[in-house]
Structure 1
Amino acid sequence: MFTGIVQGVARIAEIRDVPGLRTFRIAFPAGFAAGLEIGASVAVDGVCLTVTTLHGGDAASFDVMQQTLNITTLGQYQTGQEVNVERAARDGAEIGGHPLSGHVDFAASVAAVRELENNYVLRIAVPQQWLPYLFAKGYVAINGASLTIAEVNVAESWFEVWLIPETLRMTVFRQKQAGAALNIEIERSTQVIVDTVRRQLADTLAPLLPALEQVLQQQGGADALRILTGKLR
């Protein structure tokens, strides 16, 4: 588990590919890898990776399977790229952000960037199917950083986060411009609640749909009902 509080910016020192697998050697900031062991977990831009080799005191290698490369942004990275890193939380650690699994749900893209006085606003375009899990004032993890959602626009499929100077200092977000890809992990308790409510509504409304469609058909509204309830079937 991770806390969503990025502990530093690391650099991809080397990338090696073999069939179905990519190995990243990552150089960490000073002191980050103290006590790090083979088998330990590190979140790299929000993706939970396992240490496979240690290189002195400030670097380690990680093997990444093809499925992870397909789902996340790691498949696009090049040598020299900087990434957010966080070590796995210890028992009893303070959760400064919100609990993260390091299992990225999808990759999104930066739709626009606004720079205001002491604030940096990222507008992020997301696929429609993920919007039900995103709420203003709710949590989301972006490249491993726990952030609060400022606004969600369902019609245009985007949400915004506002970043303070300290967040920019400790992360790679200032490097992200329109079109940049980002790893998104939705907040798990929100997902559970939304999915549970959806299932309950489906079970409750499904037997009533034929009668509702008949009533609305008489009033010319059956098409609207089918659109609204299409996901219940």
Structure 2
Amino acid sequence: MFTGIVEEVGEVVAVERGSDSARLSVRGPLVTSDAVHGASIAVDGVCLTVVDQPEPGVFTVDVMAESLRRSSLHDVAAGRRVNLERAVAAHGRLGGHVVQGHVDGTGTVAARTPGEAWEVVRIALPGGLARYVVEKGSITVDGTSLTVSAVSAVDDPQPWFEVSLIPTTLELTTLGRREVGAVVNLEVDVLAKYVERITAFERADRAGGRAGEQVAP
């Protein structure tokens, strides 16, 4: 579990590709300061497991087909800068929101509008994810917990949402460098997906489409 508060910007130093997987080596001195084999580290919002530490400050992770398919890690190359966050400690502060590190899909930076002390970034997203994004709700973009400041109309054929980035976010995460056209990882609020799934089962029960299960009081 993560909070979406990026701890440092690391760098991918090596990529080994398999037929349906990849092994990444990432430099991150802060997140490796207490890392052990099996530790969880979010890389651009993707929860990955430390399998090796080949040298001080560097950790290695395996990325399976599902993560490659759903995230921007499918075309990651050495030299890429990535947002890093260690799993939150049970006694730590939840500074952002509940982030699983399970990327739902990718979006594309559609526009950047600088302000006096911030920048509004518009991100286009797949229609299948748009229904989970609401104004003033939380969303994770490349592992960064952000508040949605605006959303497209429900019937917009090209859905989008906007976030407002403060100077700290622009400086301390990769989002300050993501240009228009860049692909970013998105994780929507898991509670919205649970609600949708539960109500779908309830509708099926009422319609007689499936046998209702008796739940003990």
TM-score normalised by length of structure 1: 0.83
Which stretch shifts more, 30-39 or 90-99?
30-39
AA paired with 2:26?
Answer: I
**Structural mapping, 1:30-69, within 5 Å:** 30-69=29-68
What is the RMSD of the two structures over their aligned residues, measured on CA atoms? 1.7
1:157 corresponds to which residue? 159
Which stretch shifts more, 43-52 or 13-22?
13-22
1:128 aligns with 2:124: no
Return the offset for 1:149. Answer: 0.3
**Structural mapping, 1:151-230, within 5 Å:** 151-154=150-153, 155=156, 156-197=158-199, 199-200=201-202
Return the offset for 1:194. Answer: 3.7
Return the offset for 1:197. Answer: 4.0
Return the offset for 1:65. Answer: 1.4
For 1:47 and 1:152, the matched residues in 2 are separated by: 24
Do 1:133 and 1:194's aligned partners in 2 also have CA atoms closer than 8 Å?
Answer: no
AA paired with 1:81?
Answer: R
1:15 aligns with 2:15: yes
Do 1:132 and 1:194's aligned partners in 2 also have CA atoms closer than 8 Å?
Answer: no
For 1:6 and 1:150, the matched residues in 2 are separated by: 20
Return the offset for 1:105. Answer: 0.5
For 1:41 and 1:73, the matched residues in 2 are separated by: 19
5+ residue gaps, structure 2: 209-217
Do 2:31 and 2:41's aligned partners in 1 also have CA atoms closer than 8 Å?
Answer: no
Return the offset for 1:167. Answer: 0.9
Count, aligned residues: 205
5+ residue gaps, structure 1: 208-233
CA deviations 1:38-61 (Å, max 9, x no partner) are 111100000001111103331111
For 2:76 and 2:19, the matched residues in 1 are separated by: 17
CA deviations 1:82-126 (Å, max 9, x no partner) are 000000111121110111111100111111111111111111111
1:81 corresponds to which residue? 80
AA paired with 1:79?
Answer: A
AA paired with 2:4?
Answer: G
For 2:69 and 2:128, the matched residues in 1 are separated by: 18
Percent identity of paired positions between Structure 1 and Structure 2: 35
For 1:57 and 1:36, the matched residues in 2 are separated by: 11
More helix by share: 1
For 1:5 and 1:108, the matched residues in 2 are separated by: 20
For 1:70 and 1:190, the matched residues in 2 are separated by: 22
